[in-house]
Amino acid sequence: MNRHMWQRLLYSVAGLVVIAGVMYACKGFLDQPAQGVVDEATLQNRVGVEGSLIAAYRALDCESSSGAWGCAASNWVWGGVTSNDAYKGSNLGDQNPIHSIEIFQWSLGDADGYLNQKWSQVYEGVFRSNATLRLLDAVVAASPNEIDTLTQKYIRGEALFLRAHYHFEAYRLWGHIPYYFAADSLPAAQGGYRKANDLAVDSIVKLIIADLSTAETLLPDAPRNDERGRASRYAAMAYKGRVQVYGAGSNPASPYWAAAKATFDSVKASLTYDLEAGFNRVWTGDLTYRNGKETILAYQASARDGEPNGQNANFGERLNFPYGETNHFTCCGFYQPSYNLVNAYKVDAAGLPLSMSDNTWNVDTTYAGMAAPVDPRLDWTVGRDNVPYKDWNLHDRSWIRDASYSGPYSPKKNIHERAFPAAENNVGWVATQTNNIPIHLFRYADMLLMSAEAEVELGNLEAARTIVNQVRARAGVAAQGCGPDAAVLTAYTAFCTGNRVMVDTMQANAVNTLDSLQTPWAFYKIGLYTTPWTGLGAVYARNAVRTERRLELGMEGQRFFDLRRWGIADTAVNNYLGTEAGRISYLSGVSGTFALPKYQFYPIPSVQVELSKVGGVCQLQQNPGWGACQ
């Protein structure tokens, strides 16, 4: 089976085999047998095991049984809107729970409901992964020759990888979480699946690492059967390094730093992954680059696959398209980039981030056509007025639902190009707002910059500088151009003539500083760090790596988690809120709200705390600052 056939199977089969996860979660319900479903005996064969595993992959993103936008694979609500990268977007009245989340009123009922969506989604993934492991054991015990030994190893490795990922997602949000294994199947009278969250946070990190280490020994070097959405040995290894970095947190003396460096060095030495030649090839509807060399783990979205409502596409991201009725998408205008993020892309005369050297970087001067230079990644990340929106028309203020409410910018990475219409869905509510662009949950540039963090904390500042320059050199290869679309060229002939290719190359010159490229809408410039970091010191190097993560991963749902693990979330968020209050009126008075330790972790959904009771005693203990179980 080739990779595209597998991607289609991933969604068509998942709905049939979800019963494996349902049986796991609902065993003993009213002590009655399930009605109108496939029984366990029917699933006890190779097809059932493989289908159960596919259902575990399907839980990577929202689906109709898991809720709505709170469970988006990209974590745009939890990692983007609560950071200094983005506003909720749209207008004041739409999706009020996200407004409550953005202004840190996380205990309100509507915000609590969104948190429950995420909790339900990740633990559904955990349960489906464990259901696969149990079903595999049952099939092997009953029919030893049903699944060959090598395939057994691969299935087990994939299920363990997914179980680790879902627990990691829960750990990033809540810290103190229950960890479920395949053997956790107590009778209802003994508490069922109501496990306590009494493990130390570092113990959770160790359990995730243990699952990934085991998966690493079981999985093949490349995805099984060349089905590129599947986990592989090096995906498990790279992910383990990621968890080790999170385990290190803001402690420069943590032994996790050395462990992460060793892990990342092994991944790099394998030559399994690499940066795409151009930044524009990372988020695109072009099938040429789907699951390319930069992808470590991505949610495999699918469009035009026969699902009547388009829910196999980027369901969790569907609100994050331009709203205006005069453009193609027509809905819904959420997840709008912040002024703060846009200004972060300003560069100095050497093409380095202005924020590294000039405290005035956050003054609102980042507009199309300005003479001051900007990092070319700005216009691959953010939709700005009078700049081509990939290969669609020039972005226009009329595309914004209410610019006075949440600013003039649109998200851009998740948008497909007009040149690839097959990427867009053709069914469901506002079909144009869903597509099949894979949602990157972990990519190689992300891993490289974590590797640079480890080098800084271990005192290897020049090694860190080399890694950051590698990422910056790639960023300088491609700038936003007019695109190949004839309608754009006809409408904007004055500045698109002679510039018909979306990608414009900027060549490195003799001093190893990337040349600038002038277009009618931007003066793009990006430079490499040429002064040795050894002389500048660890503080400078650390800030440079962290700045690079923001520029490279902007609007990818990583920012809030980065700020929190660096131990600077309270300072960064409150400084941001203080500045944004003069730009976004509803943020006035919010500065100072974000305080530790209360906001170290999200509150555990109240319904989950209540449901955890055994004999009237809560097994789940609420995170500090959010009340206690009654």
Contact in structure between 623 and 173 (CB atoms under 8 Å): no
Cis peptide, bond prior to residue 332, ω within 30 of zero: yes
Q: What is the pLDDT of residue 35?
A: 47
Q: What is the pLDDT of residues 433-453, one digit of tens each?
A: 999 999 999 999 999 999 999
Confidence category of residue 68, pLDDT binned at 50, 70, 90: confident
Confidence grade of residue 364 (pLDDT, cut at 50, 70, 90): confident
Average pLDDT estimate for 13-41: 42
The helix/strand/coil state of 29 is: helix
The pTM assigned to this predicted structure is 0.91
pLDDT tens, 248-289?
A: 999 999 999 999 999 999 999 999 999 999 899 999 999 999
Residue 37 has pLDDT above 80, yes or no: no
Tens digits of per-residue pLDDT, 224-253?
999 999 999 999 999 999 999 999 999 999
| In the predicted structure, residue 3 carries a pLDDT above the cut 60 | no
Q: What is the C-alpha to C-alpha distance for residues 512 and 527, in angstroms, rounded to an integer? A: 8
For the cut 80, the answer to whether the pLDDT of residue 496 exceeds it is no
Bond before 144 cis per omega within 30 degrees:
no
Question: Above 80 in pLDDT, residue 80?
Answer: yes
Mean pLDDT confidence for 185-210: 84
| Tokens (6 digits) for 143 | 């029919």
Please give the Cα distance from 66 to 247 (Å, whole number): 29
Please tell me the predicted confidence (pLDDT) of residue 365.
76
The Cα 611–Cα 588 span in angstroms is: 37
How are beta strands 479-480 and 295-299 bridged, if at all?
unpaired
In this prediction, residue 16 carries a pLDDT of 37
pLDDT band at 25 (very low <50, low <70, confident <90, very high): very low
Closest by CA to 479, choosing from 504, 516, 499, 501, is: 504
The domain spans of the chain are 3-74+104-248+602-611, 315-557
Q: Buried (b) or exposed (e) across 9-39, using 16+ Cβ within 10 A?
A: bbbebbbebbbbbbbbbeeeeeeeeeeeebe
Return d(Cα 556, Cα 173) in angstroms, integer: 16
Average pLDDT of span 401-414: 94
pLDDT tier at 495, thresholds 50, 70, 90: low
Residue-level pLDDT at 215: 98
Q: Which tops the pLDDT comparison, 208 or 9?
A: 208
Enter the tokens of residue 390: 């990939």
Q: C-alpha distances in angstroms, 509 versus 515, 527, 528?
A: 7, 10, 11
**Dihedral angle over CA of 252, 254, 256, 258, nearest 10:** 70
Q: Tell me which range, 179-193, 214-228, 369-383, 391-405, is most confidently predicted by mean pLDDT.
A: 214-228
pLDDT value of residue 500: 44
Choice among 203-207, 364-368, 517-521 with the minimum mean pLDDT: 517-521
Q: HEC states along 369-434?
A: CCCCCECCCHHHHEECCCCECCCCCECCHHHCCCHHHHCCCEECCCCCCCCCHHHECCCCCCHHHC
pLDDT at 528 over 90: yes
* Cα(54)–Cα(230) distance, integer angstroms: 9
**Which tens digit of pLDDT belongs to each residue from 135-162?**
999 999 999 999 999 999 999 999 999 9
Across 228-380, where does the E strand assignment appear? 295-299, 334-337
Q: Return the CATH number of the domain spanning residue range 3-74+104-248+602-611.
A: 1.25.40.390
The answer to which of 386-395, 431-440, 458-467, 564-573 has the lowest mean pLDDT is 386-395
Between 365 and 219, whose confidence is greater?
219
Mean pLDDT of 11-28: 36
Compute the distance between CA of residue 608 and CA of residue 107 in angstroms, rounded to an integer.
14
Mean pLDDT rounded to a whole number for the chain: 87
Arithmetic mean of pLDDT, 303-314: 91
CB 388 within 8 A of CB 521: yes
Query: What is the band of 34 on the pLDDT scale with cuts at 50, 70, 90?
Result: very low
Domains 3-74+104-248+602-611 and 315-557 are alike in CATH topology: yes
pLDDT interval class at 6 (50, 70, 90): very low
Q: Strand, helix or coil at 503?
A: strand
Spell out the CATH class of 315-557. mainly alpha
Tell me the C-alpha distance between 353 and 188, whole Å.
57
Residue 52: pLDDT over 60: yes
